[in-house]
Amino acid sequence: MIIGVPTEVKNNEFRVAMTPAGVSEFDNRGHKVLIQAGAGVGSGHTDDDYRAVGAEIVESADEVWSRADMVVKVKEPIAEEFHRLRDGLVLFTYLHLAADKACTDALVNAGTTAIAYETVTNGRALPLLAPMSEVAGRLSAQIGAVQLQQPNGGPGILMGGVPGTRPAKVVVIGGGVAGENAAVVAAGMGADVTIIDINIARLKEIDTVHHGRIKTLASNKLTIASEVAAADLVIGSVLIPGAAAPKLVTLDMVEKMKPNSVLVDIAIDQGGCFEGSKATTHAEPTFRVHDSVYYCVANMPGAVPQTSTAALTNATLPYALRIADRGWEEALKSDAGFANGLNTHKGKVTFKSVAEAHGYEFTPVSEVLSN
């Protein structure tokens, strides 16, 4: 199989979907990998590093996309890439389609076979989302700490305070992978941290692992309202897999927050879990709502590409190899969790909440695979 790896084009996105170690695995199995010139530079991998393990370096994105049987990417295609989508192409990348009608329409109209990292499951886990949720979670606490500083528009409070002063109050809504990682870093900086989650079993796990250092509260509207009102920093990290995020923090709640308080909406790639959230870029990451600061960057891990590329490709490589070795249909047929990754195929939408979000007819993956 020919596998294409284009340079990422989203604002300040420096990750790449395959490292030289990955190319070497494909090459050893008799596949050919096309790397767009310069694609790995932001993550510390030169064209020569890729050439040395058998990759062909290709100058243009058009050539990578048109020659490849499968394109492996990091972020969803954006408008300038839509014309490269086609029938018969397998696209393996983050897609977040429930929050992105334009990309869904483009994939459906082109007939592309699109497998989304974020909806692949392994039991209850999301193995291809988890590494980036770890990164985004840890980053969110760092970013929150910086945004709390007064010259950055924040209230001027140090996360851990100093002896004799109160620490910052950090409220994390959604205690999954991103939320727990956010809480750990915030607690490590000395903040007063509370995680709110709807899954009580998950709160028990967090309480046990962190010996009560991270407080836990069950999610409901009243609790969220009172915690948000008292918070200096709110981190939003809820997920209903594949679906648009629920708006758990309302504009009314934000209006009652402390002046210059900070809200980091990690869930923005699924549309965001705060009312008023809209996707921003690393170039212009924040905006104000009422008297608070929102940070809503949809590709947070792109800011730390050396870490993120390594963590992402560690997880994606075995799946990409299975597609190359066995073909996408056999690879999905043999692993129901992998099959959950299929979002579109030949003009059909095969992920229920994506179909519902955009008014498409839903076709179960099983129907597509049995044909």
Ligand X SMILES: NC(=O)C1=CN([C@@H]2O[C@H](COP(=O)(O)OP(=O)(O)OC[C@H]3O[C@@H](n4cnc5c(N)ncnc54)[C@H](O)[C@@H]3O)[C@@H](O)[C@H]2O)C=CC1
Give the type of residue at 182.
Answer: A
DSSP 51-102: HTTTPEEES-HHHHHHH-SEEE-SSPP-GGGGGG--TT-EEEE---GGG-HH
* Longest CA span, the chain: 68
Contact indicator for 67, 58 with CB cutoff of 8 Å: yes
List the single partner that 270 binds among ligand PYR, Mg ion, ligand X, none, CB under 5 to 8 Å by kind: ligand X
- Using the minimum distance from each CB to ligand X, give the nearer residue, 134 or 232: 134
239 marked as binding residue: yes
Q: Would you state the structure tokens that stand for residue 40, as one six-digit string?
A: 């790995």
Q: Which is nearer to ligand PYR, 118 or 197 (CB)?
A: 118
Decide if 96 is catalytic: yes
- Active-site option among 45, 96, 192, 265: 96
Q: Is 238 annotated as a binding residue?
A: yes
> By rule CB under 6 A, what string of x and - marks binding of each residue 215-254 to ligand X?
----x-----------------xxxx----xx-x------
CA distance 205 to 188: 18
Among 112, 121, 299, 343, binds ligand PYR (CB under 6 A): 299
Residue 266 annotated as binding site: yes
- Cβ neighbours of residue 86 closer than 8 Å, sequence gap 6 or more: 110, 111, 112
* DSSP summary character for residue 12: T
Q: What is the CA radius of gyration of the chain?
A: 21
Least Cβ distance, residue 269 to Mg ion (angstroms): 5
Query: Interface with ligand PYR includes 301 (CB under 6 A)?
Result: yes
Q: Which stretch binds Mg ion (CB under 5 A): 96-104, 280-288, 320-328, 347-355?
A: 96-104
Q: Which of 155, 176, 242, 305 binds ligand X (CB under 6 A)?
A: 176
Which of the listed partners (ligand PYR, Mg ion, ligand X, none) does 175 bind, with a CB threshold of 5 to 8 Å by partner kind? ligand X
Q: Does 274 bind ligand PYR (CB under 6 A)?
A: no
13 binds ligand X (CB under 6 A): no
**Alpha carbons 21 and 318: distance in angstroms, whole number:** 12
Measuring CA to CA, which residue among 166, 130, 114 is closest to residue 350? 114
**Is residue 132 a contact point for ligand PYR (CB under 6 A)?**
yes
Q: Which amino acids are annotated as binding site for NAD(+), given as ranges?
A: 133, 197, 202, 219, 238-239, 266-269, 297-300
